[in-house]
Structure 1
């Protein structure tokens, strides 16, 4: 199978060699047959064009810092575990967490702002899952297949999803456990190791069941998971907003070509409602992607874990970018509303002028003769008839 880059190179090679011919044996003296004329190439090229490429996995800004994790990846130690996946899946705009409690695996419980599933086994893989109210679940030690199966087996049966997404959003990361290292984020790799105990005894429940991973790093995993869940939920919002902006992209062209917005008043109001919903989801919900959750105010170590991943995922810059896009879309709609208002005002003026003209015509028909007499007087024939009647 030819790749896209090889196809481009072959086509460029064909264009050049079709016209160039040199005199020497080491030059382009022999005009080669264009490789694109090969039937095998044509068949493979057709297969390449017709095959729909799979949807690429979501890439995070952490990929820019991947080089920082190379020392950990390339130098394994006896105390360090294998590299394991962290997979985040967003399936809806919101989850109603109380509806999950009676349908999730036994041993699951509420952990601050998430539902914690300490053990979930699917085939040969076993891991833990954090389910957050923003419509995402974060799986430690599990991949995409296991996360989707958990969503299909558990979440879809609980009716806990509010406004399911048309297309799920995913994000992936990796981690290792090493008891002699400090818990931290290094590049695009999370290292779970030595973690200070929580400041408050209320931060961690006393009736925790054993998990797949060490209990002393549970709150660290929770903090990293909450940052990841926010990033994935924000990615879902970014995707929806891009689709919305794409649906509005033709309005300026319509104004240029026809001088009309191309949308009626009702359709424009609906679009405005969608835009307000985006801004509400970004800034006015209980979890608004910008504020630090109250739980971390009393836990500076956990707050550092949360903020380190939040900053690496560029949450503030992405939130600011979305707000700028929403502001631009709002300005476009404001212009369209003004145009519709002016159009409506112009129509009302024409209607009023037409009504006045009709009323003038009616008045002329009804009172025209009398007005004529008042201005020009009565005709002479009528005056003679009136005099004769008076004399007689």
Structure 2
């Protein structure tokens, strides 16, 4: 179904330039009409969890210092490329992204309408796929390192960010992957990993992308990119909650010692609002807790997406984050209760003072009536 509307990319124009430097790649018109903007959801299945992958070696596969989209073989050893995921904002304006990339000399393709834009980047003689996930505010590069992406790719589209994150809030994830481009290589990978299917998969800490059919390989990268973006977006929320907990810890310690809380009601309300915002970003305003609609009608892509989520511990992390949010919300309610009790006590003392003042006035009036005015009345009576 997906490939029905997929047109094969035209050949890149050749350039007589040194492959030691990066260069912009100009392509003839490409048109990737892969998916409609939204698909009808099928029956919902449970999402699988994941694990924080960091770059490392796997058995029988030797890491290579050369990071290139093509791989050479020595026996059963494969060269390894780097996949970098960076979340810089809440979203990207994809129309603006297209304009910026075209203005810089690139030809972006709408891989998934209203969801993902991809383009080719030539670096060190190797073609790398770069994907911009609009609703996730994430850039995923296949074959480029984090520092290179930060310096050269993000700057191209920084004006298209929606609700951009501060520099210290940006999250990234880097994984290793091997791209399989021939059936012979696929058979060797199967022997190394004991995998029997032809789909892209994750084995240990390594991603294997089946690009024997380049179009299917591009779709697999899109599904894997969506899975990796969940990890970086979740990490942003985890850091926000961690910052909140660190700020509130000192007040909890004061409360445990029975000391006065140096807090105002507005500060507690602001803190509670930030907790609701974090919970909303996790559970309401994004697809972090579920499989995106566009994968429901594509079981193969859904399996790849869920496998990546499982290897990045997405579901357990979501569960832990929600548990921490429950505690933090309960903590804020406790602070508010203490402040309300303090306010109530303050009001009670005000009432006591007012009653005391009223009693004093009445005593004064009593004194005037019975002790000051009474002798005059007695004298008048005797006269």
**What TM-score results when the alignment is normalised by the length of structure 1?**
0.70
2-structure distance, mates of 1:195, 1:263: 62
Contact 1:96 1:161 in 2 (8 A): yes
2-structure distance, mates of 1:118, 1:77: 31
SS state at 2:359 partner = helix
- 1:88 paired with 2:85, answer yes
Contact 1:85 1:174 in 2 (8 A): yes
Contact 1:195 1:220 in 2 (8 A): no
**Residue 73 (structure 1) shift:** 4.2
1-structure distance, mates of 2:93, 2:355: 60
Aligned pairs, how many? 305
2-structure distance, mates of 1:73, 1:296: 33
2-structure distance, mates of 1:124, 1:365: 100
Contact 1:296 1:302 in 2 (8 A): yes
User: 1:232-284 CA distances to partner (integer Å, 9 max, x unpaired)?
Assistant: 11112212221221111111222244522222111111111111111111111
Q: Which residue of 2 aligns with 1:17?
A: none
Q: Which residue of 1 aligns with 2:99?
A: 102
**Residue 72 (structure 1) shift:** 4.3
**Residue 93 (structure 1) shift:** 3.0
1-structure distance, mates of 2:330, 2:179: 50
Q: Which residue of 2 aligns with 1:341?
A: 340
**Residue 186 (structure 1) shift:** 1.4
The one of 52, 61, 64 aligned to 1:61: 52
Report the more deviating stretch, 278-287 or 106-115.
106-115
Q: Which residue of 1 aligns with 2:192?
A: none
Q: Which residue of 2 aligns with 1:192?
A: 209
Contact 2:119 2:130 in 1 (8 A): yes
SS state at 2:260 partner = coil
2-structure distance, mates of 1:261, 1:176: 56
Instruction: Using CA pairs under 8 Å that are at least 6 residues apart, name the structure with larger relative contact order, 1 or 2.
Output: 2
- 1:70 paired with 2:56, answer no
Q: Which residue of 2 aligns with 1:264?
A: 264
Contact 2:54 2:175 in 1 (8 A): no
SS state at 1:101 partner = helix
Q: Which residue of 1 aligns with 2:28?
A: none
2-structure distance, mates of 1:277, 1:172: 28
Kindly report which structure 2 residues correspond to 1:175-186, keeping only aligned pairs within 5 A, or say none.
175-178=177-180, 179-180=182-183, 181=186, 182=198, 183-186=200-203
2-structure distance, mates of 1:368, 1:161: 75
Q: Which residue of 1 aligns with 2:120?
A: 119
SS state at 2:140 partner = strand
Gaps of 5+ in 1: 1-59, 197-213
2-structure distance, mates of 1:159, 1:192: 29
Change (3 A) 1:82 1:123: closer
Contact 1:193 1:217 in 2 (8 A): yes
1-structure distance, mates of 2:126, 2:251: 50
User: 1:349-389 CA distances to partner (integer Å, 9 max, x unpaired)?
Assistant: 0001111211222233345433x38xxx944x74343242x
User: 1:189-224 CA distances to partner (integer Å, 9 max, x unpaired)?
Assistant: 12122679xxxxxxxxxxxxxxxxx22311111000
1-structure distance, mates of 2:153, 2:236: 17
SS state at 1:230 partner = helix
Contact 1:254 1:262 in 2 (8 A): no
2-structure distance, mates of 1:271, 1:230: 25
2-structure distance, mates of 1:173, 1:293: 22
Change (3 A) 1:365 1:97: farther
Question: What is the aligned-residue RMSD (CA, Å)?
Answer: 2.9
2-structure distance, mates of 1:122, 1:161: 28
User: 1:125-150 CA distances to partner (integer Å, 9 max, x unpaired)?
Assistant: 54111112222111001111221023
Contact 1:81 1:177 in 2 (8 A): no
2-structure distance, mates of 1:79, 1:254: 61
User: 1:125-179 CA distances to partner (integer Å, 9 max, x unpaired)?
Assistant: 54111112222111001111221023542122x2423141342211111111223
Which of the pair has more CA radius of gyration? 1
Contact 2:94 2:160 in 1 (8 A): no
Answer 1 or 2: which has greater helix percent: 1
